[in-house]
Amino acid sequence: MSDFVDQRSIVRRIWGDSDLILLIFAGAAAEFALNRAVGWLFFTGRLPQDPIGRLFSTARFAQQIVFVDEKTAKQTLEAISIIHRGVERKRGARIPDWANRDVLFMLIDYSERAHELLYRPLAIPEKHDLYDVFYRVGVGLRIPELPTTYEEYRLDRQLHLVRDLAYTRHTKCLYEQYSRHLGSWRYKLLLQVQAILVPEHVRLLLKLEKKPLLREMIGLYGIFRPLGLSSIIQSILLPAKKN
């Protein structure tokens, strides 16, 4: 059985790197909070009640797709689709197609942004590889009207950012939960990381203030990480597990 994602793919390198995963979800946490369809996450209650746990469960789903064979990946994608359909039945409404595309686009964009922040910008072939993998994820989740190329995706992504994001009461509620679960100083650091990671439109909606020095520090960390400094981002951003 062939792998769902080629062994040489940049996607395997990104989603096998725990620090990059954490940066991806730091950015996604900002944009999730602004999405006009975020009420769906409040319907299940899982994200507002346990944002850190939700982060890790989503990461596990992603890794169950990226690091397995075609058959297992398709089974995981079908399991996710079944979960979504169950939520839709309980609420008596369908999750909008544009909302599903938004989530897929976030994972693509923040994969690219996180890699650039910690290491280097992706090369053009790597960008196409990244999009190809997530395009197949989107197809497996039956998300309609997906752009067929990376270039088309970039245009569609910009349209989604302008059309689908707004600061709402859900945004305020989610950020209060982030603060409660992370604690004061970790929460402030999260805001600073988000400010240098998210698209400008997201940063302005959330009124996040850029700290240029932090970008330099993260860049240096990426350089020296092979010397044994791994997991510093995790130990700083994530609260210790309670016994």
Residue 3 forms part of a structural domain: no
> Which residues span the domain enclosing 199?
10-237
Residue 29 forms part of a structural domain: yes
Closest CA to 129 of 1, 6, 17, 24: 6
Cβ atoms within 10 Å of 90's Cβ, excluding its own: 10
Q: Is 2 exposed, middle or buried (0-12, 13-18, 19+ CB in 10 A)?
A: exposed
pLDDT for the residue 243:
45
Residue 243 forms part of a structural domain: no
CB-CB contact of 142 with 104 (8 Å):
no
pLDDT for the residue 185:
85
Residue 131 forms part of a structural domain: yes
Residue 1 forms part of a structural domain: no
Residues of the chain with pLDDT under 50: 243
Structure tokens at 107: 């994972």
Residue 242 forms part of a structural domain: no
Structure tokens at 83: 């979960």
Residue 39 forms part of a structural domain: yes
Chain mean position to CA 211: 21
Residue 147 forms part of a structural domain: yes
Count of domains observed in the chain: 1
